[in-house]
Chains A and B, each alone.
Chain A
Amino acid sequence: MDNQEEKTSGSNSKKIAIAVGVILLFCTLISFVGSNVGALIFKSKPIGIFAVNPPHVVLPAEMPFPGVHLSNTMLTSFITIFILMLLFVSAGRKIKLVPSGLQNFVEFFYESLAGFIEDTAGTEYGRKFFPVCATIFLFVLFNGWLSLIPGFETIKFNGEPLLRNPNTDINVPMMLAVVSFCFVEYWGFKAQGLKYLKKFINVDSLIQGFKEMFSGRIKSGLNGIIMGLVSLFTGILEILSEFIRLVSFTFRLFGNMTAGMILVTVAIFLVPWVFPAVFYVMEAFFGFIQALIFSGLTLCFLVLAIMSHEEEAH
């Protein structure tokens, strides 16, 4: 009796799954036949709803409100900040010792982030680095995920899209990179004082080489001088790499997000129904990965900045 009931309910859900799969496949096929790609292959005209306009990519952010100098990416970033504030403030009201509901959900985020940061930075500095890294992570993450809601880039005001992913505007990743750079330098100076500059301008070995040469031991003195010149050059390379990091952070985030946006737009242009869902999933995944990488790399460079030069060698 039990076996038979299981079999019917099992085969029922299998039937439903197969039916849904067939419907989706049918939708994909008719949209493929009717779309622009199908028009090229079968030499017909694109049918009605499947005739999507070619994607029109504009890299700088547009200003939808006439006269007001406010771009659509800035509007979306205000919305992101508002949603984040709403989420965390409403979870923080009436804090209970044993959490439940919204507080439980928010504590899950907090604990995973705090665990990730304290794993890399140690307990003492983990708490100090938490605000910077967690803010960058949540800001980039919610920027990316909010822009997957239908309505972004399609609701038009005055001919321009009203809402757009802030990560696709080059100013936002640049701003985040500058913030992360400033914090790395700040924590480097705060943890090590002026000795932090020894990482960049490394004249110790050079001076020691000169001292040895003047005190008579010429061969080891020359050796020391050569090593000193090498470490001076390495210090200059370190300064250069600090600034190259600004460019690399900016373009990594901007490039990934813009490429994702273009990919989704082109996928909708090619086969309008069902097929772009694959690229949507990829976009969601990449949004999360890029947020993790931005905050993770900031964390790595913060940890490198507070470690002194001698500790790093051993």
Chain B
Amino acid sequence: MDFESTRTLAKLIAAGLAIGMGAVGPGIGVGMIGAGAMVALGRNPEARGPIMTNMILSIAFAEAVAIYALIVAILLIFVA
């Protein structure tokens, strides 16, 4: 195999691995945040406002890591 096709092969495998393995952590994290919010809401349904606001904020933090993985994958395919 010549160099160019090996390079394309490596790029595609790397992009797939980047987003595939990079989305596992944030997925679990967002699920745990949601579970914690549900438990808190069940214990104290009156505190719905602050619970929801803080949950959305924490989900954004966890989601950002998945976005970093997506950026790496996009960079690999379109720019590298």
Contact = CB atoms under 8 A, between A and B. Distances in A.
Interface of A: 57, 59, 248, 251-252, 254-256, 258-259, 262, 289-290, 292-293, 296-297, 300
A69 B72 CA distance: 29
24 contacts: A57-B74, A57-B78, A59-B74, A251-B64, A251-B67, A252-B60, A252-B63, A252-B64, A252-B67, A254-B71, A255-B64, A255-B68, A255-B70, A255-B71, A258-B74, A259-B67, A259-B70, A289-B56, A289-B60, A290-B60, A293-B56, A293-B60, A297-B57, A300-B57
Nearest to A262: B74
Interface of B: 53, 56-57, 60, 63-64, 67-68, 70-71, 74, 78-79
A230 B12 CA distance: 44
Contacts of B68: 251, 255
A262 B77 CA distance: 13
Contacts of B63: 252, 256
Contacts, number: 38
A296 B55 CA distance: 12
Contacts of B67: 251-252, 255-256, 259
Contact of A297 (B53, B60, B74, B78): B60
A301 B74 CA distance: 30
A297 B71 CA distance: 21
Contacts of A59: 74, 78-79
Contacts of A292: 56
B76 to A, nearest CB: 12
- Most A CB contacts (10 A, CB to CB) among B53, B71, B78, B79 go to B71
A296 B68 CA distance: 20
A255 B79 CA distance: 15
A36 to B, nearest CB: 19
Contacts of A251: 64, 67-68, 71
A202 to B, nearest CB: 25
B54 to A, nearest CB: 10
Contacts of A290: 60
A122 to B, nearest CB: 15
B77 to A, nearest CB: 9
A120 to B, nearest CB: 9
B64 A296 contact: no
3 closest A-B pairs by CB? A255-B67, A293-B60, A252-B64
A115 to B, nearest CB: 11
Contacts of A297: 57, 60
A289 B55 CA distance: 12
A248 B68 CA distance: 9
Nearest to A258: B74
A254 B67 CA distance: 9
Contacts of B78: 57, 59
Given A251-B68, A252-B64, A256-B67, A296 B57 contact: yes
A258 B67 CA distance: 10
Contacts of B53: 296
Given A256-B67, A259-B67, 11 more contacts: A57-B74, A251-B64, A255-B64, A255-B68, A262-B74, A289-B56, A290-B60, A292-B56, A293-B60, A296-B53, A296-B57
